Amino acid sequence: MGGVSLDDKDNTLASVLLDLSQSANISASMTAAQRVLTALDNVGQVRKSQVQQAGFVVLKSPDIPSMLVETAYISNRNEELRLRNPKQQVNLADAIFAGRAQLLRAEPAGRNPFAQAPPRNHGKRRLDSRFHELI
């Protein structure tokens, strides 16, 4: 958990520490997801104005905050065409990046699990390069 071994801890203590870590990461994930959702609202219609929670295993890691960003339904022909548009892809990536960047600026690195490493200087690189560095 977070690079710390719980093997030498009592089962009850390990369970409590794991639960605390998971709760903190869920909270950080919800905050980050709300900022991303707000930024995505500037790109186009957002189906739900509140962040939703789901029981996906990848979203329950005790080690790192996480979110799943649903941008459209490819089963909808119009939405699929929009997703294939390079300009729309950049707009979506920009919104996701902006939401995450806003979170990093809003909280000190010591209290922000998303700020494990110092921010990189992206200079004048293209947005899609910056976005791929986040994942």
Contact 94, 127 (CB under 8 A): yes
More reliable by pLDDT, 90 or 99: 90
| Pair 112, 103: CB distance under 8 Å | yes
* Structure tokens that stand for 31 in this block: 């905050």
Residue 93 neighbours by CB under 8 Å, 6+ apart: 127, 128, 131
What percentage of the chain carries pLDDT values higher than 70?
70
Q: How far apart are CA 126 and CA 120, in angstroms?
A: 14
pTM, to two decimals:
0.65
